[in-house]
Amino acid sequence: MFSAFGLALAIALTAAVTWSLVDDSRGSEAEATVLDVEQRGRRTLVTVQFETSGGEVCEADFRVAVDANRSVTTGDRMRVHHSESRPCVSVREVGDHSRRYMILIAAVLLTAFGILAYVAWRRPRPPLPLRYAGMP
Q: Where are the domains of the chain?
A: 2-121
Dihedral over alpha carbons 17, 57, 35, 80 (to 10 degrees)? 40
Q: What global pTM score does this model have?
A: 0.66
CATH topology for 2-121?
A: OB fold (Dihydrolipoamide Acetyltransferase, E2P) (2.40.50)
CA distance 100 to 80: 17
For residue 80, the tally of other CB atoms under 10 A from its CB is 24
3-state DSSP call for residue 36?
Answer: strand
Q: Are 80 and 48 in contact (CB under 8 A)?
A: yes
pLDDT per residue of the chain (136 residues) written in tens, 0 to 9: 566 777 777 778 778 878 887 887 788 888 999 998 988 888 888 999 999 888 889 999 888 888 777 788 888 899 998 888 888 888 888 877 777 787 788 778 778 877 877 877 777 777 767 776 666 6
The predicted structure's pLDDT at residue 54: 82
The predicted structure's pLDDT at residue 2: 63
The predicted structure's pLDDT at residue 126: 75
Rounded alpha-carbon distances, angstroms, from residue 5 to 8, 24, 34, 106, 135: 5, 28, 43, 15, 41
